[in-house]
Amino acid sequence: MKSQTILFPLSLTLCFIILAVAAFFITVRGGEQTMVPDVRGKELTAALVELQTKELYPHIQLRYSSTSDDKGSILEQEPGAGTIVKAGRRIRLVVSQGIPINTVESYIGRNIDEVYAEFGSLLDIQEPLMYMFSNEAAGIIIQQKPEPGTPITGPVTLEFVVSQGPEYPSFTVPNFVGLSRTEALNLIAKYSFTVSFSAQTVGEGERGDMIIEQSPEAQSRVSADTTVSLVMTVPTLREDEIFGIFTYDIPKMPYPLTISLDAILPSGNLQSLFNGNYAGGQLTVPYKLPINATLILSMLGRELHREQVTRTVDNSMFF
C-alpha cells in the first residue's frame, strides 16, 4: 500500500514532464511555420524581399513569355500563395525573360552609341563602321544590313551606315578676346570645333590669365574643320603652382564625342579642367595647377592618357 502511495505522485510528475516537453515542441514547431505570400506579377527584387521576411528561399527558373512588358516579373510560384510551410522552405519562382529575339529589329534613326550599349550575345556589329554625309545628325544610323524583320537563326553581324552630319557644316566663331582662361574653356565646351592655345608673358597694359588674340576673328563664318587659334597671357603663380598647356593628339572621328580633362590634386581632390564634345585632332588645354598634380584625359568615361605635372614653369617657353 505504501509503495502505491509513492508511485502515484511519481507517475503524476512524470506525466506532467511529458506533457510539458510535448507542449514545448509543439510550440517550437508552430513557430517555424509560415504562410507563402503571393508574389506572382511582382518584380523579382520585390518578390525576393517579401520571401525573405517570411524566412523563405527562392529557387529561380527563367522562361520566355509572349510579351516584353512582364520581363523580370514572376510568372509562377510553387507552392502557391496561402500555403503553410516550414520556415526555410525553397519556393520555386518562374521569372519572365520577356519575348525571345527572333527577328532583326530596326536600328535606323537611333544613335550608334546607344545601340552599342544594349547589344546582346546573339547580335554583333561589323567594324569599322561606314559613315556617310547626310542631313541626319552625326552619329545617327541611316542604313542597316540585314534588313529589319530578318529572321535570326544564329549569331548575326549587323552592318551600319552612320550619318557624318551635313557635308559642309559650318559655325560662327565666338568672341574669346577679353575672356579668362576658365571662361574660354567653358565657352569652347559648348562647341565641337578644334582650338589651339598658345601663351605669352604679360605685356604692358595686359592682365594675366586672359585671352588677348584670336584667329579667325569673332563672328567669322567658317567650316567645321577650322582650328581656332587663341593666344593667352601667363597667369600669376605661387611658388607651388605651375602653368602649362596640355597637348594630346586624338584621332579624327566622324562625329564629336565627349572628352574630359581632369586633375587629381596633391590633396587628393579632383578638379575638372575641360568637359565637352570633340571630333579629334590635337587637343590643347591650358592649366594652372599645384606641382605634382596628375592630369587625366578621358573619352566617353574611359581613360585615354594620364601624366603628372612635376616641374616649375619656364617662362622662356612662351613668347
- As beta bridge partners, residue 120 has none
DSSP letter at 111 equals: B
| Torsional class of 98: left (φ above 0), alpha (ψ -120 to 50), beta (otherwise) | left
**How far apart are the two ends of the chain, measured CA to CA in Å?**
127
Strands across the sheet containing 227-233:
194-200, 227-233, 211-215
Q: CA–CA separation, 173 vs 188, rounded Å?
A: 10
- Provide the pLDDT for residue 190: 83
Domain residue spans of the chain: 24-96, 112-163, 170-317
Enumerate the β-bridge partners of residue 275.
260
Rounded Cα gap, residues 213 and 210, in angstroms: 9
Indicate the pTM of the whole model.
0.52
Q: 289 and 242 in contact (C-beta within 8 Å)? A: yes
Q: What is the pLDDT of residue 316?
A: 44
* pLDDT for position 156: 83
Ranges of residues in the chain with a pLDDT under 50 are 1-5, 7-8, 26-30, 314-317
At which residue does the C-alpha cell 578638379 appear? 271
> For 24-96, which CATH class?
alpha beta
Query: What amino acid occupies position 301?
Result: G
Q: What are phi and psi of 49, to 5 degrees?
A: -65, -45
Residue 199's pLDDT is: 96
- Tell me, yes or no, if the two domains 24-96 and 170-317 fold the same way: yes
How many Å apart are CA 148 and CA 142, to the nearest integer? 13
Q: What is the pLDDT of residue 312?
A: 52
The pLDDT value recorded for residue 301 is 84
Q: Say how far apart CA 7 and CA 9 lie, in whole Å.
A: 6
| pLDDT at residue number 102 | 72
- Phi, psi of 141, deg, nearest 5: -75, 125
Start-end of H helices in 130-180? none
Question: Residue 155, Cβ neighbours under 10 Å: how many?
Answer: 9
CATH of 170-317, one of 3.40.640.10, 3.30.1520.10, 3.40.50.280, 3.30.10.20: 3.30.10.20
CA–CA separation, 117 and 292 (whole Å): 36
CA dist., res. 237 & res. 215, Å (int): 27
Give the model's pLDDT for residue 117.
76
Relative to beta strand 141-145, strand 281-290 is unpaired
* Beta-sheet strands, E only, within 164-315: 170-172, 194-200, 211-215, 221-223, 227-233, 241-250, 257-264, 270-278, 281-290, 294-299, 302-308
Q: 189 with 276: CB under 8 angstroms?
A: yes
Residue 195: predicted pLDDT: 94
